[in-house]
Structure 1
Amino acid sequence: MIRRRLFALAAATVAVATTLTACGGGATKTELAGSWKEIVAAAKDEGSVTLYSTHSPDNLELLKKAFEAKYPGIKLKYVRGTDADIIPKVETEIQTGQGTADIQMTTDAGFMENATKQSWNVKVVGPSFDNKDYNRTESIIDDKWFLSSATVFGYGWNTRKLPKGLHTYEDVLAANASGGKLGITNPAGIPTYVDMYRRIDADWGGGFVEKLAAQKPRIYPSAVAIDQAIASGEIWGSPTVGSTMLDTKASGAPVDFVVPEDPFGVPWHSQVLASAPHANAAQVLADFMVTPEGQAAISHNYVAALPDIKETGVPGSDLLAQDIELPDPKTLDQDSVNEYQKQWESLFQG
């Protein structure tokens, strides 16, 4: 679906009062007010909300400013890290009943499935989820995981180091891009990156990943770190940088970014945690994240879950976050991810 969408255009009031509890570890009991108006009032009394997310730090800061402008009585705190950092924290908070996070935003399909089975999350109830443009049927899983944003990975490069750029996988494998000039992400503990390497190996020709390893690229923990390294000239380019590079380019950095013919994309979904210490503020933030104002912030220079949001999406297409498929969790079980990591390390770090 992602390929068709990318290139076809190229040339109300809710629920009754509920008590929410989590299973599997005695997570903190949290209470939700009744009508949406009452939920918002209770959220202001709670006064703060905490988001754990793997999204771009810049976008999380934009979200914080936009949310606090809309709800001045509620402070948004966020903790940014990789899924390998955040998921163990969430699991510990659930199992010990010592909740800090109210909402978690992730790309890990396997964890999402497990969290729902373990009742680690609760239903989202905000009125914005029923906006027809949000497309609830395609955007919410089990009434709990809500689509928040998405990204597309592509070729990024420093225009001073590589004036001709990177436009094909042959460019990535060219001699002038070898010897530490490229940067790639380490998939350690991150199923999303495992899925990415599998996909680009299949889509860009059998053996591509092995050939990429022969280029001796530098290894980074995230696409955000690669973006920064390209902008500084520490590396010359990357075949696995996110669309955040468009924002880096807009800031005046000597970089450019294109989406390859066979791109890889990743959607973010978010959950309101059953252990949330601020149950009402969590619902208010969740609702805000899928409003036009929230999407303009969290999806700035990413792919939005609403149409016609300025400064979101990929130039030349009408791609929405709903068009980027979530990986099949059955292919990303822990044993499979660990086995691939060993193979990857033997290629890139052996």
Structure 2
Amino acid sequence: MRLRAHLRRVLTASIAALALSASVVACGGADDPAPTSGAAADFGPTGDAAWQDIVDKAEQEGSVTFYSAQNTAQNEEVARRFEEAYGITVNVVRDVEANLQSKLGAEWTTGNVVADVVSQTGVGWVRSGGEAGRFAVPVGPAFDTAEYHRDVNFIDDHSFATAAAIVAFGWNTDRLPDGLTTIDDLLDPELAGGKVGIQEPVSASQVDFYQYLESNYGPNFLERLAAQQPRVYPGILPIAQALTSGEVAAGFSGALTDEVADGAPVDFGVPEKLWGARFYTSVLTAAPHPNAAQLLANFLVTPAGQTAYTRKTASVLPDVEGAVATVDRVAQQDLSKLTPESVDAYRARWKSLFVS
């Protein structure tokens, strides 16, 4: 039975890879998922007999519910590739992490748990949930590969890093033909007077980003940036749109790979030591589909899962197609140390500099 199941998965994955390649060639377009490669079809080590038993039971369960704060496109690509590989439906619930945490809190309180796996960036929330016994230890063989580095990517042996959303620096190539080389270039006097786009720190993670800037580019970086009189936007996406339209010449951005592929007049750079918000994924102890949950968790840290989940972000494995960095390059504080009071105080300081 195990041999038949293994052969069925290999055949399904091969057919899926061929179908995906044909689809990409036929349709094209920068919004399409990254093309399938050899790495994308790599589902990691097969594991032992005990793991195969989990795989067989997962296929019998037939579905798994995934709560994720990751980008919609990445979540959908994970669901598609996982179902093609294992025949298991992934029900994705995508929302901002505050809403996901609130939803799970209600499920735990009522005992009516719907989620099987959750992925978000709240380190403090992960630790408190682990202390309460709400997360199971992942047992998949992909966690023990040398490439994954379980020793640095786990929190308390129950929750694991799967990606990191990063902030890069971008520019409009029509307005800045020579481009930028470092974040410090945003302080060029030629970019003063509303030519730089920045985001307002409305969350703890965004406050952490500005603290990263001060730690890496000088304690007076904030004051020097404010002297540029930048345009303030509510987030990274509006800045990317402003860069594309030429409303600003430069600014903080995500990876502008789709815009570049579409021929937009933009480009971007990624600092050697960059800031990012790590996504930590947890398997719920009360998961309605415990075996499918373990299988999905394992899939997320295989080359196939990483290709789906980390496009335009930082990956936890090396050489992942579509990823723009690896998480070992990402600098981020322990957000649990950013109390509501400290966040409010920092935001007040920031507003005193940037909001007239």
TM-score class, shorter-chain normalisation, is 0.7 to 0.9
Matched with 1:40 is 55
Which has the larger Rg? 2
Matched with 2:215 is 202
Answer whether contact 2:196 2:250 (CA < 8 A) is retained.
yes
Matched with 1:344 is 350
2:167 is paired with a residue of what secondary structure? Answer: strand
Report 1:1-350 matches (<5 A). 12-13=47-48, 35-81=50-96, 83-174=97-188, 177-189=191-203, 191-214=204-227, 215-221=229-235, 223-239=236-252, 241-242=253-254, 244-260=255-271, 263-314=274-325, 320-329=326-335, 331-349=337-355
CA deviation string 1:16-47 (max 9, x = no partner): xxxxxxxxxxxxxxxxxxx4334333333433
CA distance in 1, matches of 2:119, 2:207: 19
CA deviation string 1:49-76 (max 9, x = no partner): 2323332333223222221221223234
Answer whether contact 1:272 1:283 (CA < 8 A) is retained.
yes
CA distance in 2, matches of 1:99, 1:248: 40
CA distance 1:269–1:68, change in 2 (3 Å): same
Answer whether contact 1:56 1:224 (CA < 8 A) is retained.
no
CA distance in 2, matches of 1:122, 1:148: 16
CA distance in 2, matches of 1:298, 1:272: 17
Task: Please tell me the residue identity of whatever aligns with 1:114.
Answer: S
CA distance in 2, matches of 1:228, 1:98: 41
Task: Please tell me the residue identity of whatever aligns with 2:334.
Answer: D
Answer whether contact 2:275 2:332 (CA < 8 A) is retained.
no
CA deviation string 1:164-220 (max 9, x = no partner): 33334453234554455433333323x222211111023222222233344242222
CA distance in 1, matches of 2:193, 2:69: 30
Q: How far has the Cα of 1:256 moved from its partner? A: 0.6
CA distance 1:170–1:329, change in 2 (3 Å): closer
Please report the RMSD computed on the Cα atoms of aligned residues, expressed in angstroms: 2.8
CA distance in 2, matches of 1:233, 1:78: 35
Percent identity between matched residues is 36
Unaligned runs of 5+ in 1: 1-11, 15-34, 315-319
Task: Please tell me the residue identity of whatever aligns with 2:281.
Answer: S
Q: How far has the Cα of 1:131 moved from its partner? A: 1.8
CA distance in 2, matches of 1:185, 1:95: 36
Task: Please tell me the residue identity of whatever aligns with 2:213.
Answer: I
Task: Please tell me the residue identity of whatever aligns with 2:339.
Answer: D
Answer whether contact 1:46 1:74 (CA < 8 A) is retained.
no
Q: How far has the Cα of 1:156 moved from its partner? A: 0.8
More helix by share: 2
Q: How far has the Cα of 1:134 moved from its partner? A: 1.3
Task: Please tell me the residue identity of whatever aligns with 1:136.
Answer: R
TM-score by structure 1 length?
0.76
